[in-house]
Structure 1
């Protein structure tokens, strides 16, 4: 919301006064006093009532912290810059700038503040960017449709590959289940002898046969001896 001192939309001029007296470095402040930008409670007004010239020294000599209007810059006869300022202390060398005004070919304007300038530039930039993006969107709409179609096809291919991977994983799980069943059945069967066990088993069988053969010989010998003894006893 604009303040009461914001007169940036106001343009003021007085053609009759300008034709009679002219707008120069010496008369521009008097011309400015007629405009709505002038403050009747300023130090300039007090000097005017005393019929004293408006100079830097005379403004410093007035006590108080009322505002002042001074000519800051000029390019006669077309442009004059007037600064509205305020001193924190009487007779202070420096003053705070409150506003600026310029007189251009007899018309008086209030200079915009830095905030207003930046806001205006940003608004203009945002508008230009919006127009540019709208134009870009119109140019890219056909390409965007092609990209969407390509993306849909790519998603469909990815879905097909994913389904294939899922089926393959299910088949692998089925194979693993069959392998576990087979291994469970095999674990319940007796294990076959190893080569060393078979070799030991063969050696044991040979030793047993040798022992049986020797026992057979001994038994035949004992039987023969017994028959001889029986024959001798009978004779």
Structure 2
């Protein structure tokens, strides 16, 4: 294990102007981050040295059992020694070298009885305190309520504007509504389909009434006359005898 400082910064000898003591371990320090670039440039960050790096941060508790093992020149994460002790200790819970190291602070009451307290993680050389689950849920619920309240406020204000604009349009504008509506071709096709289905259900149209006796319909074009028209008597007039055409328009027969 590399030789790194074992005393906290506030206990290191100096010229009398010692830096201020860090916050007491165990308090909420989720808003701060620790990073020592000089140490990272000097030592490799792996599972053997990550605890020495963590001991430099304000998250470290110098009253833990790991510190007692360091003073006895024993690796601070040796579980064979930590399991025989009681009190506060740090354990390396998860490792993804060299990017992520999860360190858990727990209270040991026996070889098999431990109570988790806090969790810290070293992400690419920066040390953070993980928030507790209750704080995460409280933050998420508060954020959700804020966005829901904001959405209802925005919707109410927009509905107010729409209602005000509609009232103004009804009083000022006289344009027909049909001119503003757009044609929906799907709706047109649906109406055509309904009309076609109704037409199929209706009974067939009745036959037209017969023509009066002696009436022959005039032909529209030459050569379109049927066989009955060709065999008709040329002496029979091709006009309706019932209609009075006047003396000047009546055909004379000899």
TM over 0.5: yes
The equivalent residue for 2:81 is 58
SS of 1:61 mapped into structure 2: coil
Describe the superposition over 1:136-163 as per-residue Cα deviations: whole angstroms up to 9, x where unpaired: 10122256679xxxxxxxxxxxxxxxxx
For residues 110-138 of structure 1, what are the alpha-carbon distances to aligned partners after superposition, in whole Å with 9 as ceiling and x for unaligned?
00011110111012111111221111101
- Report the Cα distance in structure 2 between the residues aligned to 1:24 and 1:6, rounded to whole angstroms: 27
Q: 1:25 aligns with which of 47, 53, 62?
A: 47
Higher helix share: 1
CA distance in 1, matches of 2:58, 2:71: 19
How many residue pairs match? The answer is 142
Q: List alignment gaps of at least 5 residues for structure 1.
A: 147-235
Q: 2:58 and 2:161 mapped to 1: Cα distance?
A: 58
Matched, 1:48 2:67: no
Q: What TM-score do the two structures reach when normalised by structure 1? A: 0.56
The unaligned stretches of length 5 or more in structure 2 are 1-24, 166-254
- Measured against aligned partners, the alpha-carbon deviations of 1:202-235 in whole angstroms (never above 9, x if no partner) come to xxxxxxxxxxxxxxxxxxxxxxxxxxxxxxxxxx
2:128 is equivalent to residue 109 of structure 1: yes
TM value normalised by structure 2: 0.52
- Rounded to whole Å, the distance in 1 between the matches of 2:152 and 2:70 is 58
1:28 and 1:36 mapped to 2: Cα distance?
Answer: 15
1:121 aligns with 2:140: yes
Shift, 1:52, TM fit: 0.8
Q: What SS does the aligned partner of 2:83 have?
A: helix
Within the alignment, does 1:139 sit opposite 2:188 as a pair?
Answer: no
The residue matched to 2:158 in structure 1 has which SS?
helix
* 1:54-203 map, 5 Å: 54-62=77-85, 64=86, 66-88=87-109, 90-91=110-111, 93-142=112-161
Equivalent-residue separation in structure 2 for 1:39 and 1:135 (angstroms): 49
Contact between 2:91 and 2:105, CA under 8 Å: does it hold in 1? Answer: yes
Note the aligned Cα RMSD (angstroms).
2.2
Equivalent in 4, 7, 10 of residue 32 of structure 2: 10
The structure whose Rg is larger is 1
Shift in CA distance, 67/4, structure 1 to aligned 2, threshold 3 Å: closer
Report the Cα distance in structure 2 between the residues aligned to 1:71 and 1:106, rounded to whole angstroms. Answer: 15
Asked which structure has the greater RCO (Cα within 8 Å, sep 6+), the reply is 1
* C-alpha contact 2:26 2:118 (8 A) present in aligned 1: no
